[in-house]
Chain A
């Protein structure tokens, strides 16, 4: 009964979305306020309906309703409650429902927090969102319906892939989808602006919080996925340039460019048509990513049950959404006149450089990801494009980019003084040189490129701090004045500082991963492995029962110079239902380095293969990402974004975006 209710709610949501995509649009064209207001009600009702639908599916999972095909295929009574809930989006149908739920959440948020928007613009934005929702609701109902029933009920379900029964992965999709789908708001604003033929500073100010919030969520989502791969796969890899990873990384790259270019639109009233294009492309890449993952046209380690019919449907959606918006762009964008002039060496110039490099980096990832498909389509040779390609093309683009991030914020708007900025960065030169020298000395004979990577990180870190010190005129005015200046700095300035510091932290983590050590041995209980000054002794391996698996749990004593450090418990878990074994690694971190232990197979003699890795600075990769997302959130809290609301003194509008990632 509840399942049918959810199904019915989803069908109703489709009709509501159809109204939302037409009535407000016509209302905006005819300047009919009543018709425009329909968009707002529709967005809220649509959100309620999809939320109901989501809850109904969750209910089916939690109660293990084995008359629902989707539940049979992906759940089991013995599964822990957490994974019964998160299993809802651990499969194609459920994850599409989550996608649509996030979309309706964004639309509802726009409807609620847009009092300061001109009614016509708001109506058009909501209408575009309604169109996207219509497309995806049709997709779910026609090709991927999670509410289909079967009779008689199955005695039990097939369970969820054990690899997905993990807390990190359980919450990775919601963040990722919030990021993907959040960019639909920027997309809708771009399309609405093209229809109106007007882009100005106010428009940029309205779009910015939505872009920032989506970007934060996507950053967290990608970091979670990477962290999950790191601790799950048993050898400590954290990025594979896999098509599915690239599908999430490409919107992130262009979204980052969008955040920066919209600053130029806001402050200097120029780069308008470029920013509009970026907003369209960011969401388009989210859609293309969905297509790549769901249609099965690319080979990936992340297997979703794929189906060519679904692929065809999403391709049609892509052609309508992306083709339509780009056609509109081709017609209307030439009329958008750029305003403020600036010299190549200026803040705007630096932001343009950032945009060029990020766009080229994204194009490179795109090319590498899709090249096998292109060759296949023209009957060319069967090739694969793996990490060596990306390391050789993507990484060199990021080096000048990271250097420029250090300098850009030091330049003035319109016409900057590069020489002056470079002179004021003397602390950064010293920091870079010291880091390179120390790293080179400590790791003598090691990878030279990694030393340069660490130097790059030090450069950025010191440059960002220098820029902040300049802003508060540290050591130039009395300390009290500096503190006062620091207190009065806008939140967005702090946001930028944090985000750029986060990048520096991550870069150090990327570079230092080249220094990882490994030791792989076959151990009898009592045997030990030495790595990076630590001594790891396998004490015993016990078989212990879990909720839906049995585990071989190793007890490993870690000592350093005879001093006891910790006990580590890597496991191998056997899931009888799927006849599948997964590894559960044990990681001890001191935030400077990880000690990483994975338990391998045992042989007939009762010996165990134990893999131990020492990975310096690896935790910084994700710490950096979290700092970046935090910077985004700080910037999001800047009161300038809610100027319109503040003027009206409403407390409710004081929270511009409930959908922020952090």
Chain B
């Protein structure tokens, strides 16, 4: 059994536009080519990967990726070759760099801050109420005494 989508948890993907004629004879290389093209954005339709896109340019880049892989480039080199030509915009997964620190580290920090903040808030509320609500037995009797004095 072949599982092309090994990397995917939530979004299944398979090709729309990958054509049988584009496929490489070497299955291992073809799997790598599919994985790479699933992570490259099509510049014409912009929100599809080149693996899914039916655009002509996507077809050209798919062929280009396969050529590089056949020539012996690593996955990283192949992706870099596309980035050199089209810029980091083609990466569906933005690189982790200073400009994207907020993007990548923001969500986990937010969750931690949210959970810790909520916990502290709950504890403070409880502590605040503990200060005010219960009266000791002595206090209660004193209060009763004061009330009686007032009545009298």
> Interface residues, chain A, CB within 8 Å of chain B?
233-243, 299-301, 338, 341-344, 349, 352-353, 356-357, 359-360, 363-364, 367-368, 371, 375, 380-389, 391-395, 397, 443, 445-447, 449-450, 453, 510-511, 513-518, 520-522, 598, 600, 609, 611, 613, 615, 618
Residues of A within 8 A of B5 (CB): 447, 513-516
CB distance from B22 to the nearest CB of A (A): 10
B137 CB-CB contact with A under 8 Å = no
Chain A contact residues: over half helix, strand or loop, or mixed? mixed
B122 CB-CB contact with A under 8 Å = yes
Interface contact B93-A386, CB-CB below 8 Å: yes
Interface contact A235-B99, CB-CB below 8 Å: no
Interface contact A514-B103, CB-CB below 8 Å: no
Within 8 A of A (CB), among B26-68: 39, 41, 45-49, 52
B106 CB-CB contact with A under 8 Å = yes
Of the candidate stretches B69-77, B110-118, B144-152, the one touching chain A is: B110-118
Interface contact A299-B93, CB-CB below 8 Å: no
Residues of B within 8 A of A397 (CB): 107, 111
CB distance from B100 to the nearest CB of A (A): 7
A sample of 8 more A-B contacts (CB under 8 A), given A443-B1, A511-B9, is A235-B15, A236-B14, A237-B12, A352-B122, A356-B111, A364-B106, A449-B9, A600-B19
Interface contact A382-B18, CB-CB below 8 Å: no
Residue from the list A234, A300, A371, A513 in contact with B12, Cβ < 8 A: A513
Interface contact B47-A446, CB-CB below 8 Å: no
- Closest residue of chain B to A367 (Cβ to Cβ) is B106
Interface contact B88-A382, CB-CB below 8 Å: yes
> Interface residues, chain B, CB within 8 Å of chain A?
1-21, 39, 41, 45-49, 52, 87-94, 99-100, 102-104, 106-108, 110-111, 114-115, 118-119, 122-123, 125-126, 129
Residues of B within 8 A of A392 (CB): 93
Interface contact A520-B11, CB-CB below 8 Å: no
Interface contact A516-B9, CB-CB below 8 Å: no
The complex places the Cα of A367 from the Cα of B107 at a distance, in Å, of: 8
Residues of B within 8 A of A360 (CB): 107, 110-111, 114
* In the complex, number of A-B residue pairs with CB atoms less than 8 Å apart: 185
CB distance from B67 to the nearest CB of A (A): 20
Residue from the list A300, A382, A387 in contact with B92, Cβ < 8 A: A387
Residue from the list A235, A393, A446 in contact with B14, Cβ < 8 A: A235
The complex places the Cα of A375 from the Cα of B102 at a distance, in Å, of: 11
| Known contacts A235-B52, A364-B110, A384-B41: A450-B9 contact under CB 8 Å | yes
The complex places the Cα of A242 from the Cα of B11 at a distance, in Å, of: 13
The complex places the Cα of A393 from the Cα of B103 at a distance, in Å, of: 10
CB distance from B7 to the nearest CB of A (A): 8
Residues of B within 8 A of A301 (CB): 45-48
Interface contact B88-A356, CB-CB below 8 Å: no
Interface contact A518-B14, CB-CB below 8 Å: yes
CB distance from A616 to the nearest CB of B (A): 10
Residues of B within 8 A of A514 (CB): 3, 5-6, 8-9, 12
Interface contact B41-A375, CB-CB below 8 Å: no
Residues of B within 8 A of A364 (CB): 106-107, 110
Residues of B within 8 A of A388 (CB): 39, 92-93
Interface contact A386-B41, CB-CB below 8 Å: yes
Residues of A within 8 A of B11 (CB): 237, 239-241, 387, 391, 513
Residues of B within 8 A of A239 (CB): 10-11
